[in-house]
Amino acid sequence: ASYMIKEEYPEDTKIGLLSENSVYWPAVYFASQLLGMTIVTLDTQMKPRDNIHYLRHSGAGILFTSSDVYESMDLDLAKGLKIKETILLDSPSFNGASSLEEILEGVKPANVRDLNIDKIGKDSTAALLYTSGTTGSPKGVVLTHANILHQAEMIPEIVTFTPEDVFYGVLPLFHTLPTVASLIAPFISGASVVFPKTIRATTLVKIMKDRGVTVMVGVPALYESLKKAMVNQISHSSILVKSVFGTLKGITKVLNVTGMNAGRVTFSAIRSKVGMKDVYMMISGGAPLMTETADFFNLLGIEFFEGYGLTETSPVLTVNYKGKKGSVGKAVINVDIRISDPDENGIGMIEVRGPNIMKEYYRNTEATDEIFLGDGWLSTGDLGYVDSDGYLFLKGRNKNVIVSSAGKNIYPEEVEDKVRRSNFILECMVYGRRESESNQAQTVEALIYPDFETIDAHFREEGIEETDEAIYALINEEVKRLTKNLPNYKKIRKFRIHREDFEKTSTRKIKRFLYAD
């Protein structure tokens, strides 16, 4: 902040921040907020040409980045950007970019009076973020200081963190969920945050052990992978280990009925082994969490704090903390939720209103007009229902709904949730295929990415030759087993084996539009 005051950057400057998680990321973020400038947070996992497009679209005047990201940029393509200065956060100056360490030499800390904090209006723009886009082109979401302030004020209304807490910042900070949960929450609580340089499993476990992590922030895919790895390890352990685990599981369930969190004691040794000795809370968002995943970690003595929201809502709309299973919780303070055009089951479009709703899509009036409904209401594009106690239950994205020949709605996410419970399946994408050119009705099909490593171990143990036919037969059995209780019109009629990771957004959502055919 002192450097930008010294260089007399105007207050309407947009600051591009394109970097991996590090201690420098929050420094740049909060400096921009102190100065009333707009922070443009960008995704390091996007293609370099896409980020150059966003820098051009946003009109960023300064770019803070890392040496790795800068080296990957096409500088010829970057010509014509409004960027007056590029500052490297982690290395000496090179190839036209300045070094953060070098530019700060001799810069004296600014006086609070120089920051002009009182001049920053609550409704002025604080941040510009580009959505990850599961169905098409990303849009620039404009968030105000009032939007971000609402999220900060919401946290202590729900849960209390202390200076003794250590947050684990695994998720990239350029998303609104980790910005709120991994940065703002610990910041206002005086807690610490650890940013790992890599997300390799061995490194994550070591850091959790060494730093005494108490709160993890992640997406369902992360927690489901952790759970699957732990369950696989237990299932391949000795009979004695499996017997002890089963006994502890039974004892814990009985004690938990009394209101205790017995797993903190009974499974302390297991948590210690995987680096989670001190972890007492897991914060999840970005997609619905499978109830089995929450139940598994609850059994180990770790509570879940699940939220629901959008980038356009700063992001948190609802929170489920010690609430109803399968729900994403109740609306947070000063947020209204309504269900538009509900069907006979009460399921309809989720619409929201509150102080956390974005200002607009940047330079996109058409998209802004499409999502805003008037009187402050915004359409989320999600389908769900609210029960009599005010708990919101998600069914899926409106754009993903499959319509059967009988006119019944099928929510792909519901079917995917069932299939992903298999130890032999890593990922599943359910979609609808039209029955014919003249018939708009759709049948349910799927692309399935098997866990080939687990299948290989299973086949070796059972003495089965690993062929494409054997893999398909095993997956077919799993699909039938896991979907047997679904109505016939929701069952998968046909599936194909997908042999590599689905391409995903940085919040680990499958980019469905890439696999539409």
Q: What is the DSSP string of 30-47?
A: HHHHHTTPEEEE--TTS-
Q: Does one domain contain both 250 and 209?
A: yes
pLDDT of residue 439: 65
Mean pLDDT over residues 316-342, rounded?
A: 95
Q: Is the peptide bond before 156 cis (omega within 30 degrees of 0)?
A: no
Strands 336-340 and 348-353 come out as antiparallel
Containing structural domain, residue 246: 146-355+371-398
Q: Does one domain contain both 310 and 283?
A: yes
pLDDT of residue 467: 95
Q: Check pLDDT > 80 for residue 112.
A: no
Q: Summarize pLDDT for 378-437 with one digit per residue, the tens.
A: 999 999 999 999 999 999 999 999 988 778 889 999 999 999 999 999 999 999 988 766
Spatial distance between the Cα atoms of 312 and 319, rounded to a whole number of angstroms = 17
Spatial distance between the Cα atoms of 330 and 150, rounded to a whole number of angstroms = 16
Q: Does one domain contain both 235 and 303?
A: yes
Residue 427 lies in a domain: yes
Q: Does one domain contain both 339 and 440?
A: no
Residue 85 lies in a domain: yes
SS3 258: coil
Q: What one-letter code names the amino acid at 39?
A: I
Q: Does one domain contain both 319 and 170?
A: yes
Mean pLDDT over residues 86-92, rounded?
A: 96
Find the CATH number of the domain harbouring 41: 3.40.50.980
Q: Does one domain contain both 3 and 88?
A: yes
Work out the burial of residue 200: count CB atoms within 10 Å of its CB; fewer than 13 is exposed, 13-18 middle, 19 or more buried: exposed
Q: Which helix (H) or strand (E) holds 355?
A: none
Q: Does one domain contain both 388 and 405?
A: no
Q: Where does a domain end: 398, 414, 433? A: 398
Strands 192-194 and 166-169 come out as parallel
Residue 461 lies in a domain: yes
Q: Does one domain contain both 427 and 486?
A: yes
Q: Does one domain contain both 314 and 425?
A: no
pLDDT of residue 132: 64
Specify the range with the lowest mean pLDDT, choosing from 104-113, 158-167, 375-384, 467-476: 104-113
Which of 44, 129, 189, 54 minimizes the C-alpha distance to 315? Answer: 129
pLDDT of residue 407: 81
Q: Check pLDDT > 90 for residue 79.
A: no
Residue 126 lies in a domain: no
Residue 54 lies in a domain: yes
Banded pLDDT at 288 (limits 50, 70, 90): confident
**pTM of the full predicted structure?**
0.87
DSSP state of 181: I
Number of structural domains (the chain) is: 3
Residue 25 lies in a domain: yes
Cβ atoms of 33 and 79 closer than 8 Å: no
Residue 17 lies in a domain: yes
Mean pLDDT over residues 195-210, rounded?
A: 82
Residue 247 lies in a domain: yes
Phi-psi region of 396 (alpha: psi -120 to 50; beta: other; left: phi over 0): left
